[in-house]
Amino acid sequence: MLIAGNWKMFKGPEEARRFCLELRDVELPLDVDVVVCPPFVSLESAVQVLAGTEIGVFAQNCHWEREGAFTGEVSAAMLRELGVYGTIVGHSERRQFFGETDETVARRTAAALEAGLQVIACVGETEAERDAGETESVLRRQLSVLEADDNLVIAYEPVWAIGTGRTATPELAHEAHEIVKSVLDVPVLYGGSVKPENARGLLARTVVDGALVGGASLELDSFEAICRAASPS
């Protein structure tokens, strides 16, 4: 089981440091891998505070070139140098607002894996695509550019469930995760309004290998509760 907290554009270096200090003292279930994904500027303080713990620090994006004239981008090599363990790639907010395409997601993923980072690559349909019965074809298209890898995890995040409070039912998540797994034999996280109240039902599904948590990962209590819900013991 993997529980990853996607902080999005929240928590600057000082707030990240304080949160990680508290998180470090929480007794998290041993059978759950816990990861936080701070914004770039807060990665260093998270890495420092969580050094020597089992909690991993991931970035939220990474460029495919090692270095170059790419204003505003950060490379996998730079993240590695900082002690970052992995990265999210292809989050729907990047696809929606920052022109990320299947092609750029594929390039970012390949480069990050090549550099030795773990990757959580995000896929998921919009509400219009689901209503049009296109969920499976959208997922297949988004996944078609990726290759299975020991360090690759897919996050299935239906866009209509992100930050909306509308969670996919466990049945619906199950169906989508089966589609993902039929294309790529890798662990699949569910993401989209995961809360302490709905986490257990979703994570109880055999095809759900963890969760990518946004809003509920910003508060220690709710993040801890979701980590606990991920442990069958």
Q: Which residues bind ligand PGA (CB under 6 A)?
A: 6, 157, 162-163, 191-194, 212-216
Residue 63 or 94 with smaller CB distance to ligand PGA: 94
Residue 66 or 166 with smaller CB distance to ligand PGA: 166
- Alpha helix locations (H) across the chain? 13-24, 43-50, 76-82, 92-97, 102-114, 127-131, 135-144, 170-183, 196-203, 220-229
Known catalytic residue at 157: yes
Tokens 């599904």 correspond to 205
What is the gyration radius of the CA atoms in the chain, in angstroms?
16
Least separation in angstroms between CB 123 and ligand PGA = 12
Residue 162's closest CA among 135, 192, 188, 132? 192
Residue 48 or 195 with smaller CB distance to ligand PGA: 195
Closest chain position to ligand PGA (CB) = 214
210-213 vs 56-59, strand pairing mode: unpaired
Least separation in angstroms between CB 108 and ligand PGA = 16
Question: Contact, 216 vs 195, CB < 8 A?
Answer: yes
Least separation in angstroms between CB 187 and ligand PGA = 16
Catalytic residue among 93, 100, 125, 157: 157
In order of 42, 94, 111, 113, 115, the CA distances from 85 in angstroms are 14, 21, 14, 11, 11
Known catalytic residue at 91: yes
Least separation in angstroms between CB 79 and ligand PGA = 19
Residue 163 or 232 with smaller CB distance to ligand PGA: 163
Catalytic residue among 91, 93, 125, 177: 91
Residues serving a catalytic function are 91, 157
